[in-house]
Amino acid sequence: MCTHKLDRLHDLKEAIESLLNQDYNDLEIILVVDGNKKLYEIAREELDVDVLLLNRENLGLSESRNRGIMAAHGDIIAFFDDDAIADKHWIKELVRMYEEKDAIAVGGKILPLWIGKKPRYLPEELYWLIGVTHRGFPEEVTEVRNTFGSNLSFKTEILKALGGFRQYLGVKGTKQLQGEETELCERMRRCFGRGVIYNPNAIVYHKIYLEKLTVRFLLNRIFWQGYSKRVLEELGCSLEEEKEFAKNIITNAILKRLKKPSVDSWKQNLFLVSCIFVAGIGYASRLLRVLYKEAEK
C-alpha cells in the first residue's frame, strides 16, 4: 500500500483493518508513506503493518510501489489503495488462481462504495474513471490484459524480472499521467506471453467521494486518460482494447439508451459523447506536443 495525504488517515486505518481481517493469514503488509513525515510518524505509532517505509520527498505512486516491491518477502505481491476495503476472502481468492490456474498475475473485481449520492449522469460503462470495474468487463474467470491497481497482484519473480513500474507513469502530486498498470501488464505479456487472470470473486470495495464525482473532475481525468494512452502507444503498447471499447460505446451503449429515452439516459449519453470528445483532445494534445518537439530538432 502507498499513502501520501494526512486527511486519508481514517481511510488508511480502515483499509489496513480489512487486510488484518482476511481469512488468509500468511500475509505481510507493507506501507509506503510518500513524502509525508507527519503521516509516517503517526503510522509508526498507530498502524499495525509489517514493513513501514518513508520517502523523504513525494516520489509518486509508481516509484513508491517499486520501493514496496523491493522490500517484500512474499512469493506474491498484491497492490491495494489507501481508500479501499478488501472483502474478507480477497487474498484467498487471489491465491486460489495462482494454485489452480498456474497464473503469473491475478486481479479481481472492484465495486463502488459510495460516500454520498451516486450521480445519475455517470453510466456504468465509465466506472473505470472512478477506479471501479465497469460494465462490459468479463463476468467470469478469464485472462485479461490488466485490472485496476487496487486489485492487482503478480508473482514476485515476475515483477522483479520486469523491473517494476515505469517511474514516470502514475500519479505524482498534481501530475496526472496514467496507465502504469496497463504498461506493466503489456510489458509482461510481451515478455512472458501471458496476461492477468481475472477472478470476479476476488473483491475490493473502492470508496467514492463526492469531490471525485464532479463533471469537472471526471472530464479532467478523461483528458489525461487520452493523453496517457498516446504515451502508452509511444512505449509500444497496443490500444486495440481501447479502440474496441470506444466502438462498443458508440454502437451499443449510446444506441441502447436512445431506444429507451429518459432524462437519465439523455444525461448519460451526453456525458459519454463528451468523454469520447475530451479523450480525443487529450490524445491529440500529446501527439501535437511530440510533433512540435520533433519539428524543433
**Average of per-residue pLDDT across 4-10:** 94
pLDDT at 36: 95
**Average of per-residue pLDDT across 34-41:** 96
Residues 6+ apart with CB under 8 A from 80: 1, 15, 19, 86, 150, 151, 204
Q: Of the given ranges (171-175, 194-198, 229-233, 234-238), which has the lowest mean pLDDT?
A: 171-175
Contact criterion met (CB below 8 Å) for 186 and 232: yes
Tell me the pLDDT tens digit for each residue of 243-269: 999 899 988 899 889 888 899 999 999
Whether 172 has a pLDDT exceeding 90, the answer reads no
Pick from 251, 244, 256, 249: nearest CA to 276: 249
Q: Three cell numbers at 27?
A: 500475509
Beta strands in the chain (DSSP E): 2-3, 30-34, 51-55, 76-79, 84-86, 105-115, 142-144, 152-155, 196-209
Which DSSP string corresponds to 228-274? HHHHHHHTT---HHHHHHHHHIIIIIHHHHHHS--HHHHHHHHHHHH
**Average of per-residue pLDDT across 9-26:** 97
Per DSSP, 133 falls in state P
pLDDT at 177: 86
Q: Residue 193 phi/psi, 5° resolution?
A: 70, 20
Whether the pTM exceeds 0.85: the reply is: yes
pLDDT tier for residue 141 given thresholds of 50, 70 and 90 = very high
pLDDT at 154: 98
Whether 104 has a pLDDT exceeding 70, the answer reads yes
Percent over 90 (pLDDT), the chain: 85
| Mean pLDDT estimate for the chain | 94
CA distances from 96 to 201, 232, 297 (A): 10, 31, 53
Distance from CA of residue 241 to its chain's centroid?
16
